[in-house]
Chains A and B, each alone.
Chain A
């Protein structure tokens, strides 16, 4: 398991590289690698921009059925998300973005779990399984 800080744009690039390596080493197809790295890029940027920085954890996991997957966890101690359902709506943005980052990232992965408490921070966990 690797733990990476997210405090700058360069850190977002490093997270992307680490996720790409983990996905390629564990048998994800090129399309699935691209989907996971894109989701990681969206979530890492959210951690940086909205969470004021945080950490990313990259982990290789195995399902009960024996499938291998890559699990990512993004955690920040930022202001949190007051309305999670709204934040996951296509086109809704708290800033001046496109409003596709969070909702789009959810579509790109197999498992997605978002926990957030206003005032204490946000944590997003995603998994992409090899086929």
Chain B
């Protein structure tokens, strides 16, 4: 599964936890989750906030995300 957050202006701990939960649940169904398109300012802020987004993988864009998923298939 790919979640594209290109349009997302901020990720706080509430949204971060939601993304981690989606990743953890979909893993139980055998699916891998890749978050793609995170804006640089969002990435910098997430790091300082201390969020690690456990349970999901990340990729620069949708294309790179698909490469991760295809490589695993």
Give the number of residue pairs across the A-B interface with Cβ within 8 Å: 61
B70 to chain A, nearest CB (A): 31
Q: Is A37 an interface residue (CB 8 A)?
A: yes
Looking at the assembled complex, report how far the CB atom of B6 sits from the nearest CB atom of chain A, in whole angstroms: 14
The interface size bin for chain A is 20 to 34
A35 with B48: CB separation less than 8 A: yes
Q: Is B7 an interface residue (CB 8 A)?
A: no
Chain B residues bordering chain A, tally (CB within 8 A): 18
Determine if A62 is an interface residue (Cβ-Cβ < 8 Å). Answer: no
Which of B16, B17, B45 makes the CB contact (< 8 A) with A108?
B45
CB-based contact A101/B13 at 8 Å: yes
User: Among the listed B12, B45, B49, B50, which residue makes an inter-chain contact with A31, where contact means beta carbons less than 8 Å apart?
Assistant: B45
Q: Interface 1/0s, chain A 94-106, versus B by CB < 8 A?
A: 0001101101110
Q: How far is the CB of B12 from chain A (nearest CB, A)?
A: 4
The segment from A38-46, A73-81, A113-121 found at the interface with B is A38-46
**A25-55 at interface with B (beta carbon < 8 Å):** 30-31, 33-35, 37-38, 41-42, 45
How many whole Å from B60's CB to the nearest CB in chain A? 18
In chain B, what residue has the closest Cβ to A34?
B41
A residues within 8 A CB of B63?
Answer: none
With a cutoff of 8 Å between Cβ atoms, the chain A residues found around residue B29 in the complex are none
Chain B positions near chain A (C-beta within 8 angstroms): 9-14, 16-17, 39-42, 44-45, 48-51
Extra A-B contacts (11), CB below 8 Å, given A38-B45, A41-B12: A31-B41, A34-B42, A37-B10, A38-B12, A98-B51, A104-B50, A105-B49, A107-B48, A107-B49, A108-B45, A108-B48
30 interchain pairs, CB-CB under 8 A? A31-B44, A31-B45, A33-B41, A34-B39, A34-B42, A34-B45, A35-B44, A35-B45, A37-B9, A38-B12, A38-B49, A41-B10, A42-B13, A42-B49, A45-B14, A90-B50, A97-B17, A98-B13, A98-B16, A100-B13, A100-B50, A100-B51, A101-B12, A101-B13, A103-B50, A104-B50, A104-B51, A107-B48, A107-B49, A108-B48
